[in-house]
Structure 1
Amino acid sequence: MDVIFGHCWRCENAITREVNCRQCGVAKYCSDTCCRRDQYRHQPECEEWRPKQCSNPTCTSDSRQSLKECTSCNEASYCGKICQKAHWKDHKHKCRERAQEIRMKGAALQSYFKQRRGIPLAVPYYFGNTLAVDMLNVQANECSCEQEPGDKDPLKSDYFILSAGCGNLRNWIHTVASLPAEFSGKLHTFLNDFDPFVQARNVLQLYMMVMHRDEDNIATSITNIYYSLKLSAKDYNLLVNCLTALQDLTATGLNEITGGVIRLTDADMAPMREVWQSWLNLECRKGHPNYIDLHKQRQEGFRNSPDAAEGIKVYKTELPDEFVQSYDDYLATGNFQPLGSKRDDLQYDNPTLTGYRHPYLGGVDMGEVQRILASPKKLEFVYCIEENMNPFGSWDYLKVKKNHYHISMIVMFHGYITDQIQQVLKCLKAGLLTVSFVVWNCLELSVRLNPELCKVDRIFTSNMADYAGTQPLLKVMTPYLNRGNKCSVIVTQYRHWYALFPDARITSPETAGEDRIEVMSNCIAAAVKDTHIDTKESSLNNSRLMSVECKKAMARGSFFFQEYFNYMIYFVNYLRAEYVAFNEPLEDVSDELRNVVNMQNAFEHLGLGRDVACIPKAASLGASTTKPLPPPSFQEVKHTEGLKLRDFRRGELNKVAPYRYRRNVRRVNLLRGMQRMLEWYIP
């Protein structure tokens, strides 16, 4: 759950008198009122967590505690072999079909991961496409564990974090800003990404924080440079001075001048230096003959991207009305400036929003990717922020609103991010931080980072599992885990999994089959009731009003209804299919079935924000009526590479990053409601 431990799952206030959901006992509230108001949102997860009935309709037992799940389909549960045998005649067709489906989709995934052979080369992720996460969360982990005699105070201990495929600095910034005020240990972070453009920007921003931490309003200037298309003369001069200094430093010199905060090798620094030099060589002053005109480049990108236009349209329908004007302002200008800034003062374009804009090369071998990126100066530097990205998708709206509410989205988010950076500056002044940068493929990380010498307490892998698969990722990362810390954990993230299981997604009524209309109608009604229950509780029984509100909800897009649909089993079966892909030869699956789905295109489309055509069900692929080989059970999946998965199906909540986010309370964020995060720990 995405609420701080000890806080209400509805209103997020601290709980003084705990009220548990009467059915599952997992969800916790501060009052009966919050419990009742959360009934529609909580219903899908409650269905999974509450005690289940025996699937045999003739069963007379009242026991719900000792049921065992069918390991083949994970959808039926029985109190014993007698009931399982009695129900088999009715259950076997669906069970065998599900088993066949998992194996065939395992073959599709096997083909997909083989085709990919690495990580996608698209554009640098300067903004980020998921919410910032506290990668340490020491209060919910070490501080909550029972201390044994001789244990060091968790708030005085040192911690090590490895962020693989780190992207921009948002996760690190939020992690540091979330450290308890009493924390006096040291936080050592390894930031790994194969993209030298992203890492050059990260090093630049951290260098600004270290070298200018005592200057007034430096956090504001860094936020401006982080996100704004246009900069003032003051901010642009700060940027130029830092780039000039960085291009002349060696790795050793950078380490020394930052007091040991920034650590990297000369090999890692070489391609970054080319990025810094290229940014310096761009003419950013309007009116100059060689002016880069990023505004023009940005607008051309919008015009050439019909997907972006559709995405913006849907996004605006979801926005609360008070934010639409400020969002339109951001769309028109790309400027991300604090309250009181004058547009006439912003005379310089921001060169750090430029980089390569390479065609999507999802199937390119990682060695070829690294060859292309080895010499950035040979690539064309253009405005490279994808049209469907904005600064409002990287930071949790609930936290932003709580601390910095303003009618302008720009002012609100700018103030919050500036405060986060201000907290980082305090930790830098206190000498609590070191950051090591590694520019390398995370799947071959041992080439650059010795696992025998580097042991970490947290490993955050972004959504690298979408591209590499869970098992290969865990195999690479597990040797780095600090086994001396019982709270050590690896976090894996999944954004694109539902391309393989399209039935997991609620679609619009126009495209839904007859068997889904009732499901959709129930989800739409639940969405409307949930999003109105706090302010229009008396109106929920007004059928005419409900009809109007349902139409409005449908206009917001099908993802609006997602969190009211229990699609847990589809994600479970995705994990099982992925396990099949890496653990079985699948000779019994024909080449025709292997190639029936072009997973490469499906995932590429998802990455670009387009819908994916439904993947045929097992029955339509010619599923055999003979008994198929049973796929691996979820119990097998939960024990991978010597690690154990926190069982999200049994209400075992994550302790570092939330398994899922509540979507409709974050209408300003770019959430589809399908992202999942898993935690793997040492049993």
Structure 2
Amino acid sequence: MDVQLGCCWRCENPIEKEVPCDVCGEAKYCSELCRFRDQWRHTPECVEWRPKQCSNPKCGKVSGQHRECSACCDAWYCGETCQRQHWKDHKPSCQKRTQKIREVGELLKVKFQNLSSGSGMRMKSPHYVGNTLAIDMLNLPGNELSKEDVGSAKTSEQDPLESSYCILSAGCGNLRNWIHTVASLPNEFKGTLHTVLNDCDIFVQARNVLQLYMMIMYSDDPNIAERITTIWYSLHLPEEDYKFLIDCLRALLGSSADSLDKLTGGALNLSETDMTDMRQVWAAWLELECRKGHPNYINLQEQRKRLLYQYEEMKNEMRMYRKELPNELLPSFDEYDKHGNFVPCANAKSRNLQYDNPTLTGYMFAHSQSQATDLEFLLILMSGRFVYCIEYQLMPFSEWDYLKVKKHHYNKSMVTMFHSFISDQIKQTIASIKAGAQRVSIIVCNCLDLSARLDVESYRFDRIFTSNIADFSGTQALLKAMKPLLNRANKSSTIITQYYGWYLSVPDSMVYGEITAAQTTLQAPQRVCEISSCAILAAYDINSDYYEDMLSRHPSTMTEECDKVIDTGMFFCQEYFNNMNWFVSYLRAECMAVNKGSQLTKPPSFQKVKQSEGLQLRDFRRGNSNKVVPFRYRRNARPVNMTRGMDRMLEWHFP
């Protein structure tokens, strides 16, 4: 669960008198009112965590000791007798599910083979802005500092607050996860943290090195955190920030890997080969004419407008996104959407924003080119020039947790609110760097090839975060590559795998997941359909005005609206579906696909999946089992974040 221990699962306030869910006992609330309000969102969780009812209708016994059908994982029995008695009735659905797993497994096998060979690979534009929320990759309070881990090897030798830790972020993307991890360290932390940031994208890594350089070399500048935040996200820059950026790019262009290591006191290191490749990116940024009014002005706002607004899909997504936003935030979002400015003031027009931000440019690769409908813009994309390259669904509000942001500093201006939070995260990170607690290594390569770039005998990581690489390689292949790097001496060592697009391989999970939320006391007008009911429940939780608007519609119009909600890909009603079994089916199909050497005639059991590569999966179906990151985030609690109800994170550890 993504709520801090001891806080209410609905309002997140500290619990004085606990009111647990009276069915599963896992969900905790501060009042009966909060429990009532959370019932629709919590129902799919509750179904998974509550004691199971024997699937044999002649029995129906309820117990927490029932065993599931290992073939489909969709039926539960109190014993072999009931399972045999029910087999005749259960057989059709069981065989249908196992056949579906085989089919998905075959599709995934082809997908993984194509991606590993390079065929079928669609290059993506640089992810300067992430598509998932920043996480704390270490989370000491829930691990080394937790009561149950007091007797671990690491804590028995040294105080966890004075220990040295090592983190690998494979497929890291931008710096948000590292910054949030450092900023989340306990105030009493006196140890050190060595982080290896690995990504195969030279553009992203060039930008990461630039921002790290700014943090380290200008740590005494009282305005450096705000300046970095503006350069990170804003389409247009004040003159002083632009000149600062140019000075940093020129300094990096004239540096070697060795000199950079010395300049930063060993806080930042990378290979000369990677540095040479990054220089090409920095040089290209320096060559761009960014001053408004110049004859060769790059005009990123026009490029952004063409990229964002030529696709009907994007228009629908933005329309639905606006409906979810609290009304008081709409003016500030519309202002950001129009201009792309992310500056720390309520009125961006009052600032002298005469320069475009060159670090928001790069190559727009094949998939963006194939989608372009504007011929002139297509020629720009294919020209090999550096152009604005932020995907339309990515923005600052998509990668920082709104719940944490508004708690830090709530403001009716989304830009002001998020800018303040991000700047504070960077300030805390800079303070930790100045204290000598941080060291960062940058490696540009495919994460599956990391063993060739790292001294396996020297590196032992306490946490390995793998982004959503499993979507492209398969979990087992990824675990096989990461396991040798995991620190066996630390009981809390964990590998985290993330799943961003799993549902695309199991499309039935989108519609045919068990819609338990529809069986609630909230009555939808005429119950037009179960999916519409889920969409209404989501709208009720997220935006009461939108909910009232939907209730006022004719049933046919409401159904059409709900269909649009699902088709846009925003998925704001997906957490009201119980598609847990479909996710389990996906993991089993994925296991079939990766085990190329064995001719599996039937899907592996989930028990086998949970013990992949000699590691143990924390079983997300048994309640709040994850200890580092949430299994999934509550979508309905984050109307400002463009998160989806379908994303998942798993944790693996040594048995």
Same-fold call, TM cutoff 0.5: yes
Give me the whole-angstrom Cα distance separating, in 1, the residues matched to 2:538 and 2:175: 34
* Cross-structure match for 1:254: 260
Query: How do 1:21-100 residues align onto structure 2 when only pairs under 5 Å count?
Result: 21-59=21-59, 62=61, 64-100=63-99
**Residues 1:287 and 1:522: Cα distance change in structure 2 (over 3 Å):** closer
2:143 match: 141
Question: Does the CA contact (< 8 Å) of 1:268 and 1:438 recur in 2?
Answer: yes
Residue 638 (structure 2) aligned to one of 666, 673, 676: 666
Task: Please report how far the alpha carbon of residue 507 of structure 1 lies from its aligned counterpart in structure 2 after TM superposition.
Answer: 9.2
Of the three residues 491, 499, 502, the one matched with 1:486 is 491
Partner of 1:290: 296
Q: Secondary structure at the match of 1:491?
A: strand
Q: Distance in 1 between matches of 2:100 and 2:458?
A: 43
CA distance in 2, matches of 1:552, 1:258: 57
Instruction: Give how far 1:554 is off.
Output: 3.4
Q: Structure 1 residues 306 and 445 mapped into 2: Cα distance closer, same or farther (>3 Å)? A: same
Alpha-carbon separation, structure 2, partners of 1:31 and 1:155: 35
Q: Deviations over 1:582-632 (max 9, x none)?
A: 1256879xxxxxxxxxxxxxxxxxxxxxxxxxxxxxxxxxxxxxxxx4311
**Distance verdict in 2 for CA 1:520–1:153, change over 3 Å:** same
Q: Secondary structure of the equivalent of 1:490?
A: strand
Structure 1 contact 163–191 (Cα < 8 Å) conserved: yes
Pick one of 181, 193, 208 that aligns with 1:175. Answer: 181
Contact 2:104 2:589 in 1 (8 A): yes
1:528-583: per-residue Cα shift (whole Å, max 9, x none)? 554579x999x9xx987998997898388132321111110000000000011112
Distance 1:522 1:291 in 2: 51
Secondary structure of the residue aligned to 2:195 is: strand
SS in 1 for 2:431: helix
| Contact kept in structure 2, 1:525 and 1:550, CA below 8 Å | no
Matches for 1:406-421 after TM superposition, within 5 Å: 406-421=411-426
CA distance in 1, matches of 2:196, 2:333: 35
Confirm or deny that 1:554 pairs with 2:562. yes
Aligned to 1:527: 538
2: CA distance between counterparts of 1:449 and 1:2? 33
Secondary structure of the 1:580 match is: helix
State the alpha-carbon separation in 1 of the partners of residues 540 and 354 from structure 2: 48
Is residue 336 from structure 1 mapped to residue 312 from structure 2 by the alignment?
A: no
Distance 1:303 1:562 in 2: 26
Aligned residue number for residue 619 of structure 2: 647
Question: Which blocks of at least 5 consecutive residues in structure 1 are unaligned?
Answer: 363-377, 509-515, 589-628
CA contact (8 A) 2:542 2:639 kept: no
Q: Are residues 549 and 395 of structure 1, via their aligned partners in 2, closer, same or farther at CA, if it must alter by over 3 Å?
A: farther
2:324 is matched with 318
Closer, same or farther in 2 for the Cα pair 1:385/1:665, shift >3 Å? same
Does the 8 Å contact 1:524/1:550 carry over to 2?
no
What is the correspondence of 1:59-458 to structure 2 with a 5 Å cutoff? 59=59, 62=61, 64-117=63-116, 120-144=122-146, 145-148=148-151, 150-340=156-346, 341-343=348-350, 345-360=352-367, 379-458=384-463
Instruction: Output the amino acid matched with 2:580.
Output: M
State how far apart, in whole Å, the 2-side matches of 1:136 and 1:527 are.
32
Q: 1:579 aligns with which of 591, 595, 599?
A: 591
- CA–CA separation in structure 2 for the residues paired with 1:307 and 1:466: 23
| 8 Å CA contact retained: 2:301, 2:339 | yes
* 1: CA distance, partners of 2:132 / 2:546: 31
- C-alpha distance in 2, partners of 1:407/1:573? 43
Tell me the secondary structure at the aligned position of residue 167 of structure 2. strand
Identity of aligned residues (%): 54
Q: Please identify, of 553-562 and 2-11, the stretch whose mean Cα deviation from structure 2 is larger.
A: 553-562
Distance across 2 between alignment mates of 1:503 and 1:317: 27
- Give the match for residue 378 of structure 2: none
Hey, what's the Cα distance between the residues in 2 that align with 1:546 and 1:414?
41
2:503–2:646 contact (8 Å) kept in structure 1: yes
Deviation at 1:379, TM superposition (A): 4.6
Unpaired runs of 5+ residues, structure 2, are 370-382, 514-526
Hey, what's the Cα distance between the residues in 2 that align with 1:133 and 1:405? 20
Paired amino acid for 1:413: F
Q: CA deviation at 1:80?
A: 1.1
CA contact (8 A) 2:528 2:559 kept: no
Q: Does 1:568 align with 2:580?
A: yes
Q: Which amino acid aligns with 1:526?
A: L
Deviations 1:173-212 (A, max 9, x none): 1111111111111111000001111001000001101111
Task: Give, in angstroms, the shift of residue 35 of structure 1.
Answer: 2.4
Letter in 1 for 2:91: K
**Alpha-carbon distance change, 113 to 150 in structure 1, aligned in 2, over 3 angstroms:** closer
Q: For residues 44 and 463 of structure 2, what CA distance do their matches in structure 1 show?
A: 30
Preserved CA contact (<8 Å) 2:323 2:546: no
- CA–CA separation in structure 2 for the residues paired with 1:16 and 1:73: 42
Structure 2 distance, partners of 1:85, 1:347, is 75
Q: Secondary structure at the match of 1:435?
A: strand
Query: How far 1:317 moved relative to its partner?
Result: 1.9
Question: Does the 8 A contact of 2:539 with 2:546 survive in 1?
Answer: no
Contact kept, 8 Å, 2:400 with 2:641, in 1: the verdict is yes
In structure 1, C-alpha distance between the alignment counterparts of 2:432 and 2:16, rounded to whole Å: 32
Aligned mates of 1:296, 1:521 — CA distance in 2: 38
> Does the C-alpha gap of structure 1 residues 479 and 379 become closer, same or farther in structure 2, counting only changes over 3 Å?
farther
8 Å CA contact 1:285, 1:348 repeated in 2: yes
Q: Determine if contact 1:318/1:556 at 8 Å carries over to the other structure.
A: no
State the distance in 2 between where 1:162 and 1:499 align.
28
Partner Cα distance (2:203, 2:192) in 1: 28
- Contact 1:464-1:493 within 8 A present in 2 as well: yes
1:568 corresponds to which letter in structure 2?
Answer: M
Residue 67 of structure 2 contacts residue 78 of structure 2 at CA under 8 Å; is this kept in 1?
yes
- 1:497 paired to 2:509: no
Distance 1:18 1:168, change over 3 A: same
**Cα distance change on mapping 1:291 and 1:529 into 2, 3 Å:** closer
Normalising by structure 2, we get a TM-score of 0.89
1:47 and 1:404, CA in 2 relative to 1: closer, same or farther beyond 3 A?
A: same
User: Deviations 1:397-418 (Å, cap 9, x if unpaired)?
Assistant: 1111111211111111111111
* 548 and 256 in structure 1: CA distance in 2 versus 1, 3 angstrom threshold: farther
Residue of structure 2 in register with 1:595 after alignment: none
Give 1:66 deviation, angstroms. Answer: 2.5
What secondary structure does 2:34 align onto?
helix
Q: Are 1:219 and 1:421, in contact at CA under 8 Å, matched by a contact in 2? A: yes
Q: CA deviation at 1:13?
A: 1.9
Between 639-648 and 31-40, report the one with greater CA deviation. 31-40
For 2:361 and 2:29, how far apart are their aligned partners in 1? 46
Residue from 443, 456, 470 that aligns with 2:475: 470
